[in-house]
């Protein structure tokens, strides 16, 4: 099942007012969470259905799905009620997403609680981590700290990290987390300093070390780190580009991948997943099935409005060539 944020118009002015582009597009637009089903590992897809209606005053976004060892599925998403009120909700399914429990809020910090798609994970200990970033307000001059909400009872109760990740300017945003062989955690994060930054946790996400640069050039867009099941190596997907004079510290192009064979200490085999000049390609998700990696991301022209969901399927060996 592929899930994504589907923006839509709910008033005439959103499709007719060509003089106010910021009114028609952006993070505050009406949005719901839609889905499609594939039964042949991504080669063909069902019709679209709505997985989560817009229950917010503005939108719902940022879907994450996690299957527990019991087979139960957790579904988290954000509900935006204002430009300074973004909350994380969760519901549960015991029948393959056919029906759901009542939705309930799991974020405890007031203000803005952002998550990213394909970021939830369960540690070997059973603890569930939902990487997030938090700020007390929204608007010019925003500053965010990265953290994890964590649960030790299969998602019934949640706590936020006590010691969080922070950086200058806009701060630390959109962390992606992976569990290393020794049980410690590695997080990589979006920031406005021109490179991918990383941080570590030795207590399963309750506290984090001060972030440091990986040396990999990056704009203000989210990196994604995932373990490759067949090799145990790490896969990083991010925008390999920087221009500190750009409003996002660089274009969100190309979308690149790199491999680490030493648990994130060094990175090699940088390759482009997408390189389309004049287009953004970002916010990747990766699902591994047998010897393949299914990579999804949004793409859209930087000069017009509207984005599409893209899927590319790679043999895992391609990342090593």
The C-alpha atoms of residue 140 and residue 161 are separated, in whole angstroms, by 26
- Residue 61's closest CA among 75, 72, 47? 75
User: Does residue 195 fall inside a structural domain?
Assistant: yes
Helix (H) or strand (E) holding 79: strand 73-82
Based on the structure, what is the number of domains in the chain?
Answer: 1
- pLDDT for 18 equals 58
Q: 305 lies in which domain range?
A: 64-320
CATH at 81: 2.120.10.10
- pLDDT for 44 equals 98
What tens-digit pLDDT sequence spans the chain (321 residues)? Answer: 999 999 998 888 777 765 555 555 678 889 999 999 999 999 999 999 999 999 999 999 999 999 999 999 999 999 999 989 999 999 999 999 999 999 999 999 999 999 999 999 999 999 999 999 999 865 556 899 999 999 999 999 999 999 999 999 999 999 999 999 999 999 999 999 999 999 999 999 999 999 999 999 999 999 999 999 999 999 999 999 999 888 889 999 999 999 999 999 999 999 999 999 999 999 999 999 999 999 999 999 887 777 899 999 999 999 999
- pLDDT for 25 equals 65
The C-alpha atoms of residue 284 and residue 235 are separated, in whole angstroms, by 12
User: Does residue 97 fall inside a structural domain?
Assistant: yes
**Model-level pTM?**
0.95
User: Does residue 27 fall inside a structural domain?
Assistant: no
User: Does residue 59 fall inside a structural domain?
Assistant: no
User: Does residue 308 fall inside a structural domain?
Assistant: yes
Who's near 178: CB < 8 A, 6+ residues apart?
121, 185, 186, 225, 226, 227, 234, 264
The C-alpha atoms of residue 13 and residue 159 are separated, in whole angstroms, by 41
- Tell how strand 59-67 and strand 234-239 pair up: unpaired
User: Does residue 8 fall inside a structural domain?
Assistant: no
User: Does residue 315 fall inside a structural domain?
Assistant: yes
Going by the DSSP 8-state scheme, the letter that residue 190 receives in this structure is: E
User: Does residue 2 fall inside a structural domain?
Assistant: no
Q: Token digits for 215? A: 């040396």
The C-alpha atoms of residue 276 and residue 284 are separated, in whole angstroms, by 15
């Amino acid at each position: 099942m592929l899930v994504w944020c589907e923006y839509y118009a709910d008033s005439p002015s959103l499709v007719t007012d060509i003089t106010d582009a910021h009114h028609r597009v952006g993070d505050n637009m009406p949005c719901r969470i839609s889905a499609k089903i594939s039964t042949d590992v991504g080669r063909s897809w069902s019709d679209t259905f709505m997985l989560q209606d817009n229950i917010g005053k503005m939108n719902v976004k940022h879907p994450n799905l996690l299957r527990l060892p019991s087979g139960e599925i957790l579904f988290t998403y954000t509900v935006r009620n204002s430009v300074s009120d973004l909350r994380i909700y969760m519901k549960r399914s015991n029948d393959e997403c056919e029906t759901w429990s009542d939705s309930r809020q799991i974020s405890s910090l007031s203000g803005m609680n952002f998550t990213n798609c394909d970021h939830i994970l369960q540690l070997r200990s059973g603890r569930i981590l939902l990487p997030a970033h938090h700020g007390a307000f929204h608007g010019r001059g925003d500053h965010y700290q990265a953290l994890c909400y964590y649960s030790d009872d299969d998602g019934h109760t949640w706590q936020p990290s006590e010691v969080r990740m922070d950086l200058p300017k806009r701060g630390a945003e959109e962390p992606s987390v992976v569990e290393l062989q020794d049980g410690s955690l590695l997080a990589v994060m979006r920031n406005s300093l021109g490179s991918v930054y990383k941080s570590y946790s030795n207590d399963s996400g309750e506290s984090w070390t001060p972030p440091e640069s990986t040396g990999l050039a990056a704009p203000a867009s989210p990196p994604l780190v995932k373990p490759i099941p067949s090799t145990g190596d790490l896969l990083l997907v991010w925008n390999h580009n920087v221009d500190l004079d750009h409003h996002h510290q660089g274009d969100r192009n190309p979308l690149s991948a790199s491999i680490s064979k030493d648990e994130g200490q060094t990175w090699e085999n940088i390759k482009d997943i997408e390189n389309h000049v004049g287009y953004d390609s970002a916010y990747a998700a990766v699902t591994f099935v047998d010897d393949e990696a299914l990579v999804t991301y949004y793409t859209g022209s930087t000069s017009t409005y509207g984005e599409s969901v893209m899927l590319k399927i790679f043999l895992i060996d391609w990342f090593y060539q």
